[in-house]
């Protein structure tokens, strides 16, 4: 399957998907760590994809959303943003609203 199709399937199959460097338990970049932490505080367990494990995915995810940086958050199939946007949306309460009903 084409990497773009793989990503499309991931973001539509799982309600919350976080593409990051490392894993929520062992993030390998400060920004990915922050993104994972924000979701944790929101009580949401994302389907997380470690892009460091797959070179095709690492490039593919940047093309998918026309977004050159990691992490990337998708909620219900929609690209929400990277770490800066997640922080802003968490502080304003928008992120919690988007995640309503998805907490464990």
Partner 1 sequence: MVYPEDIKNHIAQGMVCTHLQVDGDGRHFQALVVSAEFAGLSRVQRHQRVYAVLGAQMRDELVHAFSMTTLTPEEWQVKNG
Which residues of the chain form contacts with partner 1 (CB under 8 A)? Answer: 29-31, 58, 66-69, 79-85, 88-89
Min dist. Cβ of residue 104 to partner 1 (A):
26
Min dist. Cβ of residue 85 to partner 1 (A):
5
Nearer to partner 1, 24 or 82 (CB): 82
Neighbours of 60 (CB within 10 A): 18
**In whole angstroms, what is the distance from residue 93 CA to residue 10 CA?**
26
DSSP secondary structure, 19-44, as one string: EESB-SSSBSSHHHHHHHHHHHHTT-
Nearer to partner 1, 47 or 79 (CB): 79
Nearer to partner 1, 42 or 70 (CB): 70
Min dist. Cβ of residue 64 to partner 1 (A):
13
- What Å distances lie between residue 35 and 1, 28, 62, CA to CA? 28, 12, 17
Q: Determine the straight-line distance between the first and last CA of the chain, rounded to whole angstroms.
A: 31
Min dist. Cβ of residue 38 to partner 1 (A):
15
Nearer to partner 1, 61 or 104 (CB): 61
């Amino acid at each position: 399957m084409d990497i773009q199709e793989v990503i499309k399937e991931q973001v539509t199959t799982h309600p919350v998907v976080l593409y990051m460097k490392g894993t929520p338990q062992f993030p390998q970049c400060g920004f990915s760590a922050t993104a994972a932490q924000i979701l944790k505080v929101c009580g949401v367990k994302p389907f997380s994809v470690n892009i460091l494990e797959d070179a095709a995915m690492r490039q593919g995810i940047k093309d998918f959303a026309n977004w050159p940086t990691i992490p990337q958050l998708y909620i219900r199939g929609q690209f929400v943003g990277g770490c800066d946007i997640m922080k802003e949306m968490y502080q304003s309460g928008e992120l919690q609203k988007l995640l309503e009903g998805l907490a464990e």
